[in-house]
Amino acid sequence: MRLAFISDIHGNAIALDAVLKDIKEKDVNKIFVLGDLCFRGPEPKRALELVRSLNTEVIKGNADEWVLRGIEEGEVTSKAIEMMTKEREWTLSQLDAEDINYLGNLPTEINFEYKDIQIHAFHATQNNLFQVVQPFEDDSEIKQKLMVNDAADIYIYGHIHKSYIRYVDGKCIINTGSVGLPFDGLNQPSYAIIDICEDGIGIQTSIIRVDYNASNAIKQFKDSDYPDKELMIGILKNAKI
């Protein structure tokens, strides 16, 4: 069983096109989407339509929550909140009521089991869409923040836009990285694959990086009236925030 996990698309439909093409070529059996679908990208509507066309399990991220109810004080810096509110308003202008209803009905976690391998997936942590858990956290912090479901063998999340794989107490923790806005200095979309052996004992995990035409996504921003587009262009170019 080959599973693909994608997250943090952020309205970059061109990057999502490339990832879905790569997933198809790898004969993946099932795709899971771990949130942050359309906010802060040039094509929120098309990105959301691509996700919905997968007819698969999708969960909500913090950026999806922002689209629904706005950005509250303390969630971003006081300097950023005014501009990000304008970005949210722009995103809302590209979506319709059905899109908003879809985002509002998304769950916040996925529990998947195959051949006695249990996978627990969420956006940031199980109980918080906004909490940041970095790759360099101590094992104790990883256990407290990410490994709440004791029954799981694999824990997988997005949110931080930095992919990694590590093991704690014999269990696997994976971050998918970001499809649309990587923050690790490599401007290639990333996603995760989990292969579960048919005997239900062995697993193989990998982070995949995909080539795509970032210049086309940058041109979309340049040609749009997106607020603070120079900031977003810089992030796309440098894969850093």
Residue 179 CA neighbour count, 13 Å, CB half = 35
The ranges of the chain with pLDDT < 50 are none
pTM above 0.85, yes or no: yes
pLDDT in tens, 178-226: 999 999 999 999 999 999 998 767 899 999 999 999 999 999 999 999 9
Residue 108 contacts residue 122 (beta carbons within 8 Å): yes
Q: Which two tokens stand for residue 106?
A: 């998304």
Q: Which two tokens stand for residue 125?
A: 């942590």
Token pair listed for 239: 């894969």
Q: What per-residue confidence (pLDDT) applies to 69?
A: 98
pLDDT score recorded for residue 199: 78
pLDDT in tens, 156-173: 999 999 999 999 999 999
Q: How far apart are CA 46 and CA 29, in angstroms?
A: 23
Report the domain count for the chain.
1
By residue count, the chain amounts to 241
Q: Which domain holds residue 72?
A: 2-238
pLDDT at position 198 is: 85
Q: What is residue 200's predicted lDDT score, i.e. its pLDDT?
A: 67
CATH code at position 180: 3.60.21.10
Rounded distance between C-alpha atoms, residue 170 and residue 180, angstroms: 31
